[in-house]
Amino acid sequence: MIKKEIVIDQEKGLTRVAVLEDDELCEFYLEREGAEKQAGNIYKGRVQNVLPGMQAAFVDIGTDRNAFLYLGEPELDKRDFVFGGEGEAPRIQRPKKPVKSGQEIMVQVIKEPDATKGARITTHITLPGRYVVLAPSVDYVGVSRRIRDDAERQRLKEEAERVQPEGMGLIVRTAAEGMNAEDFAADIETLTARWKEIEKRFQVRKAPCCIHKDESLISRTVRDLFTPDVDRLVLEKGENVEKVRETLRSISPELENRVVPYEGQLPIFDAYRIESRLDKALQHKVWLKNGGYLYVDQTEALTVIDVNTGKFVGSLDLQDTVFRMNCEAAVEIARQIRLRDLGGIIIIDFIDMESPEHQ
Protein backbone atom coordinates (compact mmCIF):
# COMPACT_ATOMS: atom_id res chain seq x y z
CA MET A 1 0.00 0.00 0.00
CA ILE A 2 1.41 3.37 -1.04
CA LYS A 3 1.58 6.02 1.69
CA LYS A 4 0.14 9.19 0.22
CA GLU A 5 0.20 12.72 1.68
CA ILE A 6 -0.82 16.18 0.46
CA VAL A 7 1.07 19.17 1.87
CA ILE A 8 -0.31 22.71 1.42
CA ASP A 9 1.55 25.97 2.01
CA GLN A 10 -0.09 29.40 1.70
CA GLU A 11 1.54 32.74 2.38
CA LYS A 12 1.80 36.25 0.89
CA GLY A 13 -0.57 35.59 -2.00
CA LEU A 14 1.14 32.33 -2.99
CA THR A 15 -0.42 28.88 -2.64
CA ARG A 16 1.65 25.73 -3.17
CA VAL A 17 0.50 22.11 -3.07
CA ALA A 18 2.79 19.05 -3.01
CA VAL A 19 1.69 15.42 -3.38
CA LEU A 20 4.00 12.82 -1.79
CA GLU A 21 3.84 9.08 -2.41
CA ASP A 22 6.04 6.91 -0.16
CA ASP A 23 7.91 10.11 0.73
CA GLU A 24 8.66 10.87 -2.95
CA LEU A 25 7.47 14.16 -4.48
CA CYS A 26 5.16 13.21 -7.37
CA GLU A 27 3.01 16.27 -8.12
CA PHE A 28 3.40 19.98 -7.48
CA TYR A 29 0.95 22.85 -8.04
CA LEU A 30 1.39 26.59 -7.60
CA GLU A 31 -0.99 29.54 -7.82
CA ARG A 32 -0.24 33.24 -7.32
CA GLU A 33 -2.92 35.70 -6.31
CA GLY A 34 -3.80 37.79 -9.35
CA ALA A 35 -2.26 35.24 -11.73
CA GLU A 36 -4.65 32.32 -11.31
CA LYS A 37 -4.89 29.63 -13.95
CA GLN A 38 -7.34 30.00 -16.85
CA ALA A 39 -8.03 26.31 -17.47
CA GLY A 40 -11.57 25.51 -16.38
CA ASN A 41 -12.75 29.12 -16.59
CA ILE A 42 -15.77 29.87 -18.77
CA TYR A 43 -15.94 32.98 -20.96
CA LYS A 44 -18.36 34.89 -23.12
CA GLY A 45 -16.13 35.43 -26.13
CA ARG A 46 -16.39 37.15 -29.49
CA VAL A 47 -15.20 35.37 -32.64
CA GLN A 48 -12.49 37.49 -34.30
CA ASN A 49 -11.81 35.44 -37.41
CA VAL A 50 -12.63 32.02 -38.83
CA LEU A 51 -10.17 29.88 -40.80
CA PRO A 52 -12.27 27.33 -42.76
CA GLY A 53 -9.17 25.63 -44.20
CA MET A 54 -8.01 24.80 -40.65
CA GLN A 55 -11.48 24.21 -39.18
CA ALA A 56 -10.54 26.76 -36.53
CA ALA A 57 -11.48 30.15 -35.15
CA PHE A 58 -9.74 32.71 -32.97
CA VAL A 59 -11.88 34.09 -30.19
CA ASP A 60 -11.39 37.20 -28.05
CA ILE A 61 -12.04 36.16 -24.42
CA GLY A 62 -10.63 39.32 -22.86
CA THR A 63 -7.06 38.05 -22.32
CA ASP A 64 -3.75 39.14 -23.86
CA ARG A 65 -4.03 36.77 -26.83
CA ASN A 66 -7.01 35.47 -28.75
CA ALA A 67 -7.92 31.90 -27.84
CA PHE A 68 -7.90 29.01 -30.34
CA LEU A 69 -11.13 27.12 -31.02
CA TYR A 70 -11.18 23.94 -33.10
CA LEU A 71 -14.36 23.76 -35.19
CA GLY A 72 -14.26 20.10 -36.19
CA GLU A 73 -15.62 17.35 -33.96
CA PRO A 74 -16.48 19.01 -30.59
CA GLU A 75 -13.71 18.24 -28.14
CA LEU A 76 -14.34 15.82 -25.30
CA ASP A 77 -11.37 14.26 -23.54
CA LYS A 78 -12.25 10.55 -23.52
CA ARG A 79 -8.86 9.30 -22.28
CA ASP A 80 -9.88 9.15 -18.62
CA PHE A 81 -13.48 8.00 -18.97
CA VAL A 82 -15.44 5.08 -20.37
CA PHE A 83 -18.67 5.93 -22.17
CA GLY A 84 -20.90 2.87 -22.36
CA GLY A 85 -19.66 -0.27 -24.09
CA GLU A 86 -16.80 -0.84 -26.50
CA GLY A 87 -17.06 1.41 -29.55
CA GLU A 88 -19.71 3.68 -28.05
CA ALA A 89 -19.05 7.40 -28.17
CA PRO A 90 -20.80 10.24 -26.37
CA ARG A 91 -23.35 12.20 -28.37
CA ILE A 92 -22.40 15.87 -28.32
CA GLN A 93 -24.84 18.58 -29.26
CA ARG A 94 -23.28 20.41 -32.19
CA PRO A 95 -23.85 24.09 -33.00
CA LYS A 96 -26.89 24.48 -35.24
CA LYS A 97 -25.22 27.23 -37.29
CA PRO A 98 -21.62 27.74 -38.44
CA VAL A 99 -19.49 30.01 -36.26
CA LYS A 100 -19.08 33.46 -37.85
CA SER A 101 -16.83 36.47 -37.21
CA GLY A 102 -18.38 38.82 -34.66
CA GLN A 103 -20.51 36.08 -33.11
CA GLU A 104 -20.67 35.84 -29.31
CA ILE A 105 -20.19 32.32 -27.96
CA MET A 106 -19.70 30.56 -24.62
CA VAL A 107 -16.36 28.76 -24.34
CA GLN A 108 -14.24 27.05 -21.70
CA VAL A 109 -10.43 27.03 -21.50
CA ILE A 110 -9.01 23.49 -21.77
CA LYS A 111 -5.33 24.39 -22.14
CA GLU A 112 -3.39 27.25 -20.61
CA PRO A 113 -1.75 29.84 -22.89
CA ASP A 114 2.03 29.73 -23.19
CA ALA A 115 4.74 32.15 -24.28
CA THR A 116 3.76 31.98 -27.95
CA LYS A 117 0.16 30.77 -28.10
CA GLY A 118 -3.18 31.79 -26.67
CA ALA A 119 -5.40 29.50 -24.64
CA ARG A 120 -7.06 26.45 -26.21
CA ILE A 121 -10.84 26.56 -25.80
CA THR A 122 -13.91 24.42 -26.44
CA THR A 123 -17.65 25.01 -26.69
CA HIS A 124 -18.19 21.76 -24.77
CA ILE A 125 -18.60 22.99 -21.17
CA THR A 126 -17.92 20.76 -18.14
CA LEU A 127 -18.45 21.59 -14.46
CA PRO A 128 -16.61 19.34 -11.98
CA GLY A 129 -18.03 18.36 -8.60
CA ARG A 130 -16.71 15.97 -5.98
CA TYR A 131 -18.23 12.80 -7.41
CA VAL A 132 -19.49 13.76 -10.86
CA VAL A 133 -18.77 16.19 -13.67
CA LEU A 134 -21.80 17.87 -15.25
CA ALA A 135 -21.60 18.10 -19.05
CA PRO A 136 -24.57 20.17 -20.33
CA SER A 137 -23.83 19.44 -24.02
CA VAL A 138 -23.54 15.65 -23.68
CA ASP A 139 -26.58 13.42 -23.25
CA TYR A 140 -24.58 10.52 -21.83
CA VAL A 141 -23.02 8.98 -18.71
CA GLY A 142 -19.31 8.17 -18.50
CA VAL A 143 -17.28 6.53 -15.71
CA SER A 144 -13.63 7.08 -14.73
CA ARG A 145 -11.19 4.54 -16.19
CA ARG A 146 -9.28 4.61 -12.91
CA ILE A 147 -12.08 2.52 -11.41
CA ARG A 148 -10.69 -0.82 -12.59
CA ASP A 149 -13.51 -3.16 -11.63
CA ASP A 150 -15.88 -3.61 -14.60
CA ALA A 151 -18.83 -4.53 -12.37
CA GLU A 152 -18.30 -1.42 -10.22
CA ARG A 153 -18.06 0.81 -13.31
CA GLN A 154 -21.32 -0.61 -14.63
CA ARG A 155 -23.02 -0.18 -11.23
CA LEU A 156 -21.89 3.46 -11.01
CA LYS A 157 -23.12 4.11 -14.55
CA GLU A 158 -26.56 2.77 -13.62
CA GLU A 159 -26.62 4.79 -10.38
CA ALA A 160 -25.70 7.97 -12.27
CA GLU A 161 -28.37 7.33 -14.90
CA ARG A 162 -30.97 7.31 -12.10
CA VAL A 163 -30.24 10.97 -11.29
CA GLN A 164 -29.01 12.20 -14.68
CA PRO A 165 -30.50 15.66 -15.41
CA GLU A 166 -32.69 15.70 -18.52
CA GLY A 167 -30.75 16.69 -21.63
CA MET A 168 -27.41 16.78 -19.80
CA GLY A 169 -24.58 14.34 -19.27
CA LEU A 170 -22.64 13.12 -16.24
CA ILE A 171 -19.12 11.81 -15.87
CA VAL A 172 -18.59 9.76 -12.70
CA ARG A 173 -15.24 10.56 -11.06
CA THR A 174 -12.79 8.22 -9.32
CA ALA A 175 -13.79 9.52 -5.88
CA ALA A 176 -17.30 8.11 -6.48
CA GLU A 177 -16.19 4.47 -6.14
CA GLY A 178 -18.55 2.75 -3.70
CA MET A 179 -21.09 5.61 -3.82
CA ASN A 180 -24.68 5.59 -5.06
CA ALA A 181 -27.27 7.88 -6.65
CA GLU A 182 -28.10 9.56 -3.34
CA ASP A 183 -24.43 10.52 -2.92
CA PHE A 184 -24.45 12.11 -6.39
CA ALA A 185 -27.64 14.11 -5.79
CA ALA A 186 -26.08 16.99 -3.81
CA ASP A 187 -23.32 17.36 -6.40
CA ILE A 188 -25.82 17.44 -9.25
CA GLU A 189 -28.07 19.96 -7.51
CA THR A 190 -25.13 22.32 -6.92
CA LEU A 191 -23.76 21.92 -10.46
CA THR A 192 -27.09 22.39 -12.25
CA ALA A 193 -27.76 25.55 -10.20
CA ARG A 194 -24.27 26.78 -11.14
CA TRP A 195 -24.96 26.08 -14.82
CA LYS A 196 -28.20 28.09 -14.73
CA GLU A 197 -26.31 31.02 -13.18
CA ILE A 198 -23.63 30.78 -15.90
CA GLU A 199 -26.33 30.84 -18.59
CA LYS A 200 -27.84 33.97 -17.00
CA ARG A 201 -24.47 35.72 -16.94
CA PHE A 202 -23.96 34.84 -20.59
CA GLN A 203 -27.23 36.54 -21.47
CA VAL A 204 -26.65 39.80 -19.56
CA ARG A 205 -22.89 40.43 -19.67
CA LYS A 206 -20.97 42.05 -22.48
CA ALA A 207 -18.33 40.09 -24.41
CA PRO A 208 -15.48 39.51 -23.94
CA CYS A 209 -15.62 38.60 -20.25
CA CYS A 210 -15.16 35.75 -17.78
CA ILE A 211 -18.53 34.44 -16.60
CA HIS A 212 -17.27 31.65 -14.33
CA LYS A 213 -13.96 31.03 -12.55
CA ASP A 214 -12.88 27.65 -11.28
CA GLU A 215 -12.32 27.33 -7.54
CA SER A 216 -9.11 28.27 -5.69
CA LEU A 217 -6.16 25.87 -5.67
CA ILE A 218 -6.91 24.71 -2.11
CA SER A 219 -10.56 24.03 -2.97
CA ARG A 220 -9.59 22.20 -6.18
CA THR A 221 -7.08 20.11 -4.21
CA VAL A 222 -9.75 19.01 -1.74
CA ARG A 223 -12.23 18.37 -4.56
CA ASP A 224 -9.93 16.59 -7.01
CA LEU A 225 -6.95 15.15 -5.12
CA PHE A 226 -8.07 14.42 -1.56
CA THR A 227 -9.54 10.98 -2.17
CA PRO A 228 -9.85 7.98 0.20
CA ASP A 229 -6.40 6.67 -0.84
CA VAL A 230 -4.74 9.77 0.69
CA ASP A 231 -3.54 9.13 4.25
CA ARG A 232 -3.50 12.76 5.34
CA LEU A 233 -3.66 16.36 4.21
CA VAL A 234 -1.27 18.66 6.10
CA LEU A 235 -1.56 22.47 6.12
CA GLU A 236 -0.64 25.39 8.37
CA LYS A 237 -2.92 25.72 11.36
CA GLY A 238 -5.45 28.55 11.01
CA GLU A 239 -8.63 29.38 9.15
CA ASN A 240 -7.79 27.19 6.13
CA VAL A 241 -7.89 24.07 8.32
CA GLU A 242 -11.46 24.80 9.39
CA LYS A 243 -12.49 25.73 5.83
CA VAL A 244 -11.17 22.41 4.51
CA ARG A 245 -12.86 20.45 7.30
CA GLU A 246 -16.13 22.29 6.70
CA THR A 247 -15.98 21.40 2.99
CA LEU A 248 -15.27 17.76 3.79
CA ARG A 249 -18.21 17.55 6.20
CA SER A 250 -20.52 18.10 3.23
CA ILE A 251 -18.70 16.08 0.54
CA SER A 252 -16.62 13.37 2.31
CA PRO A 253 -17.10 13.40 6.10
CA GLU A 254 -15.05 10.19 6.47
CA LEU A 255 -11.92 12.16 5.45
CA GLU A 256 -12.31 15.02 7.93
CA ASN A 257 -10.08 13.42 10.58
CA ARG A 258 -7.28 13.06 8.02
CA VAL A 259 -6.81 16.84 7.91
CA VAL A 260 -3.74 17.56 10.08
CA PRO A 261 -2.80 21.11 11.20
CA TYR A 262 0.96 21.68 10.97
CA GLU A 263 2.40 23.06 14.22
CA GLY A 264 6.16 22.78 13.68
CA GLN A 265 8.68 25.59 14.06
CA LEU A 266 10.09 25.45 10.53
CA PRO A 267 8.02 26.60 7.52
CA ILE A 268 5.97 23.62 6.39
CA PHE A 269 7.73 23.19 3.03
CA ASP A 270 11.13 23.32 4.76
CA ALA A 271 10.03 20.64 7.23
CA TYR A 272 9.06 18.36 4.33
CA ARG A 273 12.08 19.43 2.23
CA ILE A 274 9.73 20.17 -0.67
CA GLU A 275 11.76 22.97 -2.27
CA SER A 276 15.06 21.05 -2.23
CA ARG A 277 13.34 17.95 -3.61
CA LEU A 278 11.71 20.02 -6.35
CA ASP A 279 14.99 21.66 -7.35
CA LYS A 280 16.69 18.27 -7.52
CA ALA A 281 13.86 16.56 -9.39
CA LEU A 282 13.47 19.21 -12.08
CA GLN A 283 17.11 19.38 -13.15
CA HIS A 284 18.05 18.68 -16.76
CA LYS A 285 20.04 15.70 -15.42
CA VAL A 286 18.08 13.56 -12.94
CA TRP A 287 20.06 11.03 -10.87
CA LEU A 288 18.52 7.68 -9.97
CA LYS A 289 19.10 5.81 -6.70
CA ASN A 290 21.12 3.08 -8.41
CA GLY A 291 23.63 5.57 -9.85
CA GLY A 292 22.12 5.84 -13.31
CA TYR A 293 20.57 9.03 -14.60
CA LEU A 294 18.07 10.56 -17.03
CA TYR A 295 18.48 13.49 -19.39
CA VAL A 296 15.18 15.35 -19.81
CA ASP A 297 15.06 17.74 -22.78
CA GLN A 298 11.86 19.76 -23.31
CA THR A 299 11.24 21.64 -26.55
CA GLU A 300 8.14 23.32 -27.93
CA ALA A 301 7.43 20.30 -30.16
CA LEU A 302 8.20 17.34 -27.90
CA THR A 303 10.01 16.01 -24.82
CA VAL A 304 12.92 13.58 -25.06
CA ILE A 305 14.03 11.46 -22.10
CA ASP A 306 17.34 9.60 -22.41
CA VAL A 307 18.28 6.74 -20.04
CA ASN A 308 21.95 6.29 -19.06
CA THR A 309 23.67 3.72 -16.82
CA GLY A 310 25.99 6.33 -15.26
CA LYS A 311 27.64 4.84 -12.18
CA PHE A 312 25.44 1.72 -12.18
CA VAL A 313 27.53 -1.33 -13.14
CA GLY A 314 25.26 -4.20 -12.01
CA SER A 315 26.50 -7.55 -10.70
CA LEU A 316 25.54 -10.40 -13.09
CA ASP A 317 26.01 -9.57 -16.77
CA LEU A 318 25.44 -6.71 -19.19
CA GLN A 319 21.89 -7.66 -20.19
CA ASP A 320 20.78 -7.98 -16.56
CA THR A 321 22.39 -4.62 -15.78
CA VAL A 322 20.59 -2.95 -18.70
CA PHE A 323 17.27 -4.54 -17.75
CA ARG A 324 17.48 -3.44 -14.10
CA MET A 325 18.58 0.04 -15.19
CA ASN A 326 15.60 0.41 -17.53
CA CYS A 327 13.18 -0.85 -14.86
CA GLU A 328 14.29 1.77 -12.34
CA ALA A 329 14.29 4.44 -15.04
CA ALA A 330 10.71 3.58 -16.05
CA VAL A 331 9.44 4.22 -12.52
CA GLU A 332 11.27 7.55 -12.29
CA ILE A 333 10.10 8.61 -15.77
CA ALA A 334 6.47 8.09 -14.73
CA ARG A 335 7.11 10.35 -11.72
CA GLN A 336 8.85 12.96 -13.88
CA ILE A 337 5.90 13.07 -16.29
CA ARG A 338 3.55 13.81 -13.38
CA LEU A 339 5.88 16.23 -11.61
CA ARG A 340 6.70 18.28 -14.73
CA ASP A 341 3.13 17.97 -16.03
CA LEU A 342 4.44 16.76 -19.39
CA GLY A 343 2.10 16.26 -22.32
CA GLY A 344 2.14 16.00 -26.11
CA ILE A 345 4.82 13.85 -27.74
CA ILE A 346 7.21 12.17 -25.29
CA ILE A 347 10.09 10.08 -26.69
CA ILE A 348 11.89 7.77 -24.23
CA ASP A 349 15.24 6.33 -25.26
CA PHE A 350 15.71 3.26 -23.06
CA ILE A 351 18.98 1.33 -23.28
CA ASP A 352 18.73 -1.44 -25.90
CA MET A 353 17.67 -4.85 -24.56
CA GLU A 354 18.31 -8.01 -26.57
CA SER A 355 16.10 -10.37 -24.57
CA PRO A 356 12.43 -10.39 -25.66
CA GLU A 357 11.51 -11.23 -22.06
CA HIS A 358 13.28 -8.11 -20.83
CA GLN A 359 11.62 -6.02 -23.53
Q: Is the pTM of this model over 0.85?
A: no
**Does residue 147 carry a pLDDT above 60?**
yes
By DSSP bridging, strand 67-70 and strand 132-135 are unpaired
CA dihedral 16, 29, 273, 223 (to 10 degrees): 80
CA dist 334 and 327 (Å) reads 11
Report yes or no: 140 and 157 within 8 Å, Cβ to Cβ.
no
Q: 107 with 67: CB under 8 angstroms?
A: yes
Same domain, 83 and 126: yes
Average pLDDT over residues 173-182: 89
Of how many residues is the chain composed? 359
For residues 109 and 114, what is the distance between their CA atoms, to the nearest angstrom? 13
Residues 61 and 205 placed together within one structural domain of the fold: yes
Judge whether 75 lies within some domain: yes
**pLDDT tens digit string along 187-218?**
999 999 999 999 999 999 999 999 999 888 99
Single residue among 161, 187, 212 that ends a domain in this structure: 212
Q: Are residues 61 and 182 in the same domain?
A: yes
For residues 56-81, average pLDDT: 78
Say yes or no: 228 and 187 in one domain: no
The pLDDT assigned to 77 comes to 53
Amino acid 87: pLDDT: 41
Question: Is position 122 within any domain?
Answer: yes
pLDDT tops 50 at residue 86: no
Instruction: Tell which of 212, 242, 260 closes a domain.
Output: 212
Domain of 60 in residue numbering reads as 42-212
Indicate whether 339 and 237 sit together in one domain: no
Clarify whether residues 131 and 71 are in a common domain: yes
Residue 279 is assigned to a structural domain of this protein = no
What are the distances in angstroms from CA 168 to CA 108, 123, 142, 150, 269? Answer: 17, 15, 12, 24, 42
Torsion-angle region of 161 (φ positive above 0: left; ψ -120 to 50: alpha; else: beta): alpha
Residue 81's pLDDT is 56
Q: Is the pLDDT of residue 88 over 60?
A: no
Res 309: pLDDT:
87
357 found inside a domain = no
Q: What is the pLDDT of residues 3-23, one digit of tens each?
A: 999 999 988 889 999 999 999
